[in-house]
């Protein structure tokens, strides 16, 4: 298995296909973002394909939280440090993409990220006229940051103290297995949690990503130092529209973009066409 997921319901062929889809989606989306051609319909098509194929059909195996789960499993099995660290090959690759291009994986290639982004489009619009009167809840970035760090610590400590049996419930990606393995006992609770996340993400932008995801916690830090990010050009006249439309408060001129999911709302709303993906 290319990612050593070693979990029931995971097959090498679906892992390989998922990896290919991740790569293709990231490349295509980056090109569209770079050329400022990521129109709404294109992002809806990409996100829908990712959710249905990698999430529903392949059961989200592998997924970005799996390495943390495998870490606990390998510790339980008493494996060597080298093998334990091998759990994180998938994390290392995904963080490398984040180091270069920010949260491109989270934005478009992750199955759970994709469905949250799709649902967000109901209430988080790309222009202020449509956004008016929408019922949305904006998370305080600092509080969200600390909640996610807390969940990260709980995830690891629960794994060390109670083992894989508990950690499997904390990784909601396990719930995607319910379509392929409805009788598999541990998927029920994570599947219910996925349902709650999907409904909540209509009103709160990406609640799982911003409040809980262990990979998201690492990707936040990596994205802050990413080489390429959405930046304002000299054409910006500080009208502030991008800051008003951004669902994560990351559109400020000096924002590090740790929580920028490349949703493209700021690019679409900018009347000066002054936001583009570039190096500093
Ligand atoms: S933060 Fe986690 S759940 Fe959200 S898109 Fe990134 S990897 Fe997926
Ligand atoms: S800065 Fe905000 S609006 Fe712009 S792409 Fe990032 S998350 Fe979306």
Distance 111 CA to ligand 1 centre (A): 8
The pLDDT-based confidence of 121 (bands split at 50, 70, 90) is very high
5 has pLDDT over 70: no
182 CB neighbour count, 10 Å cutoff: 10
Instruction: State the pLDDT at residue 82.
Output: 80
The pLDDT-based confidence of 9 (bands split at 50, 70, 90) is very low
39 has pLDDT over 60: yes
Pairing of strands 275-278, 229-232: antiparallel
Q: What is the mean pLDDT of the chain?
A: 92
**Closest by alpha carbon to 125, among 263, 273, 271?**
263
Instruction: State the pLDDT at residue 245.
Output: 97
Per-domain residue ranges of the chain: 12-227
H/E element holding 155?
A: helix 141-162
Question: Tens digits of per-residue pLDDT, 51-89?
Answer: 999 999 999 989 999 998 888 888 888 888 787 777 788
DSSP letters spanning 178-247 = GTT-TT-GGGHHHHHHHHHHHHHTTTBSSHHHHHT-HHHHHHHHHHHT-SSEEEE-TT-----HHHHH-T
Question: Tens digits of per-residue pLDDT, 158-190?
Answer: 988 888 888 888 899 999 998 877 777 678 899
This prediction's pTM: 0.93
Distance 200 CA to ligand 1 centre (A): 15
User: Cis omega before residue 62 (within 30°)?
Assistant: yes
Q: What percent of the chain has pLDDT over 90?
A: 74
For residue 245, the ligand 2 atom closest to its alpha carbon is 3
Q: What is the 3-state composition of the chain as percent helix, strand, coil, each rounded to the nearest 5?
A: 60, 5, 35
47 has pLDDT over 90: yes
Ligand 2 site residues (CB inside 6 A) read 230, 246, 248, 250-251, 260-266
Question: Tens digits of per-residue pLDDT, 223-232?
Answer: 999 999 999 9
**Closest by alpha carbon to 248, among 260, 235, 236?**
260
Instruction: State the pLDDT at residue 11.
Output: 60
**Rounded Cα gap, residues 111 and 155, in angstroms:** 20
Q: Best mutation site among 126, 204, 230 for ligand 2, i.e. most ligand atoms within 8 A of its Cβ? A: 230
Instruction: State the pLDDT at residue 8.
Output: 46
Instruction: State the pLDDT at residue 7.
Output: 52
Q: What percent of the chain has pLDDT over 70?
A: 96
- Give strand pairing partners of 275: 232
Tokens of 228: 């390429």
What is the residue with the minimal CA distance to atom 4 of ligand 2? 266
Distance 216 CA to ligand 1 centre (A): 5
- Rounded to 5°, the CA angle 118-121-123 comes to 135
CA atoms lying within 13 Å on the CB side of residue 219: 29
Sign of the C-alpha dihedral, residues 226, 29, 54, 245? positive
């Amino acid at each position: 298995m290319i990612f050593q997921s070693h979990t029931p319901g995971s097959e090498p062929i679906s892992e390989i296909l998922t990896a290919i889809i991740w790569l293709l989606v990231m490349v295509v989306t980056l090109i569209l973002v770079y050329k400022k051609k990521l129109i709404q319909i294109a992002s809806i098509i990409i996100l829908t394909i990712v959710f249905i194929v990698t999430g529903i059909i392949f059961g989200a195996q592998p997924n970005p939280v799996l390495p943390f789960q495998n870490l606990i499993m390998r510790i339980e099995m008493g494996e060597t440090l080298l093998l334990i660290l091998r759990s994180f090959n998938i994390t290392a690759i995904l963080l490398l993409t984040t180091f270069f291009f920010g949260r491109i994986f989270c934005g478009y290639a992750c199955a759970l990220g994709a469905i949250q982004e799709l649902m967000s489009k109901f209430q988080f619009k790309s222009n202020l006229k449509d956004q008016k009167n929408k019922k949305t809840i904006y998370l305080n970035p600092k509080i969200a940051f600390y909640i996610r760090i807390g969940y990260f610590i709980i995830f690891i400590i629960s794994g060390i103290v109670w083992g894989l049996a508990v950690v499997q419930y904390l990784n909601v990606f396990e719930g995607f297995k319910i379509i392929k393995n409805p009788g598999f006992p541990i998927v029920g609770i994570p599947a219910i949690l996925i349902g709650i996340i999907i409904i909540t993400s209509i009103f709160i932008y990406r609640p799982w990503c911003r409040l809980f995801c262990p990979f998201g916690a690492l990707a936040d830090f990596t994205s802050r130092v990413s080489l390429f990010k959405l930046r304002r050009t000299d054409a910006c006249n500080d009208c502030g529209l991008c800051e008003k439309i951004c669902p994560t408060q990351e559109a400020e001129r000096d924002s590090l973009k740790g929580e920028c999911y490349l949703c493209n709302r700021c690019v679409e709303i900018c009347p000066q066409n002054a936001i583009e993906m570039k190096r500093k």
